[in-house]
Structure formats: C-alpha cells, structure tokens
Amino acid sequence: MKVAKSTTHKARSYNHSLSRREVALLAEWERERRVSVTLDDIRSAVGTSVARDVASRLVAKKALERVGQGKYLVRPLRTLSRPTAPSAAVQAAVLLQDEPYYLGGLWALTFHRLTAQQYLSVLDAFVARQHHSGLLGGARLAFHRVSPKRLGHGSVAANLEGMSVRVSDPERTLIDLLDFPALAGGSGEALRIVKQTLRRVDPAKLIEYAAKGARSSTCQRLGVLLERAGTAPRRLAPVHERVLRTKSVLSMDAGALRKGAVNQRWRVVENDL
C-alpha cells in the first residue's frame, strides 16, 4: 500500500481562495516592493481581455484594495490571513500619486507631533485640480484646490506603510491654517493653534512661504505673531512688503469683538490679547 506524500501548495500557505496565477502575480509585486498598482499594470501582467476580471477577483479576495478608478493598494501576501486596513493617508497617496498634491491641515499637526491631540478623522488634501471630497479609509478626505505654485514648495516626502506620501512640512501646515482657518474649525481656533506651535517651527520658512503667496491677511497676522516673538524687523521685511500692498485693517481674531490696540505697522487690531 502506497503512502501518499504530503504536498505543500504555495497558494494554501497564504490564502486558500487564491489561484496559482494570483499568488504568482502578488509575489511578483512583493518582490518589486510595489505598494500600489494600476489597472494598466495588471493589463501588462495578464493581458487586456482579463485584467478587469483579475482585478475584481483580487479585490473580492482582499488582496487588493480599490482606492480610486483603476488604482489599487497591494496587500502583502503575509498579511492576507489577518484583517488589516491601510491608513487613510496611504490610500489618499495612491489616489493622488499621478498629480501634484500634499496632505496637510490638522492631520499634519498630529503627524509632525506639533500637538498631543490625535486629528485623524479628517484628512485635508491640497491639489491643483478639482476633486470630490468623500470618505476614504475611515476618514473624511477633504480636497482644497490651490495654485500649482503653492504645491511646489513647503511639503516633504514621508514613508508611511511603505508608501511615499507628500505631507505639508510644519511651517506650511501653520501657513495653511492661517490661510484656511476653516481647517481648524474657525479663525479663533486656527490662531490659537498657530500661537501654541509657533516657537516649534522655523520662522525663516514661515516668512518665506508667506512672502511667496500666502494671503495678505495671513501676512498681517503672521507679522504680528513673529514680532511678538521677537523676530527682527529686517527679517520680517519680505512679509511686510506684502502687507504694504493692502489698505485693509483687520482683526487679529476675526471671530472676536473688534476691540484692542491697532498695530499700525501690520494694520491689525490686536483683539486676541
């Protein structure tokens, strides 16, 4: 009587439902250290006629996660036997990888450890073309359309879960909060956050970013804040040049009563003291 030899099927060691072709495809992407693939990548690997079916089956088997039209996150083979979920930031990076962007707002404050609070429920993405906001990876992904010039500086590449993600640097994050106070829930909260974190960032970068294209109101408020922090007037000259172009006298805190001394240099009512 013959004793059947034990055999090991590679597919079974990862996921009983994966075919040999699917395992080979995933293994190839893993060797290439691919974190994401597109439908075009799948077409190149298996052919145009079956690419959509292959992608759909891999999504159904949790080996791929669809994050946008024709864009997928690849799950490592070793993780297929346990439930895992990529972060919203990584999914957003896959969605936007073919265009200029950066992730910022309150989420960036948490990422750079500028705050002890965990801002994870909303992810703000700054982009050059129109996108529709929505839910992604358990967070609300909010898009903010800005000029391509703004996207050209003030962001850094961060490695998150094996994916390169563009993130606003600490200084750009604060400038964005002053430019778009709704990111923080209002002008008063945005101003409070900037005040608390101002001494933890590089004032030279703040001045550079503001002078390159921040709103005049941001330049005015930033000038007051940096002046209070002891920054020399000559260092503030690039920002002050921007302020000279406006005749507006605004309140430091747009949501508070307009009471307080007027800072003539920056044309600001200091109603936040």
Token digits for 193?
């956050």
If you average pLDDT over residues 196-222, what whole number do you get?
A: 97
Q: What is the pLDDT of residue 221?
A: 98
If you average pLDDT over residues 120-138, what whole number do you get?
A: 93
Cα→Cα distances 123→2, 105, 109, Å:
62, 7, 11
Query: Among 203, 192, 201, which residue's Cα sits nearest to residue 117?
Result: 192
Q: What percent of the chain has pLDDT over 70?
A: 93
Categorize the per-residue pLDDT at 139 as very low, low, confident or very high, splitting at 50, 70 and 90: very high
Q: pLDDT at residue 174 above 70?
A: yes
CB 235 within 8 A of CB 193: no
Token digits for 176?
């964005």
Q: Rounded to whole angstroms, how far apart are CA atoms 65 and 73? A: 5
Please return the burial class of 124, using the count of CB atoms within 10 Å of its CB with bins 0-12, 13-18 and 19+. Answer: buried
* Ordered structural domains, the chain, with CATH: 10-79 (1.10.10), 85-168 (no CATH), 185-273 (no CATH)
| Exposed e or buried b per residue across 243-258, where buried means at least 16 C-beta atoms within 10 angstroms of its C-beta | beeeeeebbbbbeeee
| Exposed e or buried b per residue across 51-90, where buried means at least 16 C-beta atoms within 10 angstroms of its C-beta | beebbebbeebebbbbbbeebbbbbebeebeeeeebbbbb
Q: pLDDT at residue 144 above 60?
A: yes
Beta-strand pair 139-145/122-127: parallel
- Alpha carbon 251 to its chain's center: 30
Q: Rounded to whole angstroms, how far apart are CA atoms 231 and 92? A: 37
Q: What is the pLDDT of residue 81?
A: 66
Q: pLDDT at residue 5 above 50?
A: no
Categorize the per-residue pLDDT at 83 as very low, low, confident or very high, splitting at 50, 70 and 90: low
- Taking only the tens place, the pLDDT of each residue in 218-254 is 999 999 999 999 999 999 999 999 999 999 999 999 9
Q: What is the pLDDT of residue 34?
A: 87
Q: Which residue has the higher pLDDT, 17 or 156?
A: 156
What angle is formed at CA 35 by the lines to CA 46 and CA 81, rounded to 5 degrees? 85
Q: Which residue has the higher pLDDT, 38 or 75?
A: 38
Q: pLDDT at residue 264 above 60?
A: yes
Q: pLDDT at residue 200 above 70?
A: yes
Strands (E), the chain: 36-38, 64-68, 71-74, 101-104, 122-127, 134-136, 139-145, 155-160, 163-168, 250-251, 262-263, 268-269
CB 133 within 8 A of CB 143: yes
Average pLDDT, the chain: 90
Q: Rounded to whole angstroms, how far apart are CA atoms 96 and 254? A: 34
